[in-house]
């Protein structure tokens, strides 16, 4: 008989630990939705830690290597279109468009290969899977919850550690990055959203070689 640990938080929430190996999964090649993100920096033991909050609408097309994100920057709506096959990123702000070259590929949004399956859970009839990943000798731990059927992200929590004593490699929590996904649907309803404006000014930035 499997041990079941249950919590009640608004709705009945049950986590079932399953003693089996479950490989890390990948979401569909095309999906879109909304993402809420909060970054909390506690590395300085400040009683009022720095908090960064971001909310954006995203459209992800791995098959055609295109993405679109809409977010607010300094109170202004920014639309960012990235065409990876062409190596171009477009920023549209207040009706004005600029673009620049990029040199990194679009990363498929799979769970890390070293992701460890913790268990399955459900809210109502929705079955979800819970994974944990460790990076850089435990200096970063990522907890992820995805839908069981399609591996669509639901929550992603990253705990990044900072050194207390670098010589002794003693660490403490340094920052938390919390991402919550909502209203996610499979596919791209309107493929023309990836079409940049016909008039767009090229800008030159220092060469960037890592994915953003």
171: closest CA among 135, 144, 143, 145? 135
Question: Measured between alpha carbons, how far is 141 from 159 in angstroms, rounded to an integer?
Answer: 5
pLDDT, tens only, 94-127 = 889 999 999 999 999 999 988 999 999 998 888 9
Query: Tell me: the pLDDT tens digits for 14-48?
Result: 444 443 446 789 999 999 999 999 888 776 666 66
Indicate the burial class of 123 (C-beta count within 10 angstroms; 0-12, 13-18, 19 or more). Answer: middle
Maximum C-alpha span of the chain = 64
CA–CA dist 119, 91 (Å, integer): 40
Reduce the DSSP state of residue 152 to 3 states and report it. coil
- How far apart, in whole angstroms, are the C-alpha atoms of residue 17 and residue 59? 33
149-184: pLDDT as tens digits: 999 999 999 988 765 444 445 556 678 889 999 999
Say if residue 60's pLDDT is above 80: yes
Burial 61-81 (b: 16+ CB within 10 A, else e): bbeeebbbebbeeeeeeebbb
Question: Is pTM, for the whole model, over 0.85?
Answer: no
Query: Residue 141: pLDDT above 60?
Result: yes
Q: What is the pLDDT of residue 134?
A: 87
Half-sphere exposure of 198 (CA within 13 A, CB side): 0
Structure tokens at 80: 């960012």
Upper half-sphere CA count for residue 122 (Cβ side, 13 Å) = 7
pLDDT average, residue stretch 117-144: 88
């Amino acid at each position: 008989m499997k041990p079941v640990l249950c919590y009640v938080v608004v709705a009945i929430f049950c986590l079932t630990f399953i003693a089996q190996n479950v490989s890390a999964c990948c979401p569909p090649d095309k999906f879109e939705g909304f993402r809420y993100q909060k970054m909390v920096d506690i590395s300085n033991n400040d009683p009022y830690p720095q908090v960064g909050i971001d909310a954006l609408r995203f459209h992800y097309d791995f098959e055609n290597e295109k993405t679109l994100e809409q977010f607010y920057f300094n109170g202004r709506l920014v639309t960012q279109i990235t065409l990876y096959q062409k190596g171009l990123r477009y920023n549209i702000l207040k009706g004005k468009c600029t673009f620049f070259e990029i040199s990194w590929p679009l990363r498929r949004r799979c769970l890390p290969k070293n992701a460890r399956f913790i268990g399955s859970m459900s809210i109502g009839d929705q079955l979800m899977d819970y994974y944990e990943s460790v990076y850089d000798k435990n200096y970063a731990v990522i907890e992820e919850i995805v839908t069981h059927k399609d591996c669509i992200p639901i929550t992603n929590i990253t705990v990044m550690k900072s050194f207390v004593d670098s010589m002794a490699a003693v660490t403490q929590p340094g920052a938390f990055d919390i991402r919550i996904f909502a209203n996610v649907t499979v596919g791209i309803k309107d493929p023309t959203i990836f079409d940049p404006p016909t008039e767009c000014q090229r800008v030159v930035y220092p060469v960037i070689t890592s994915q953003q």
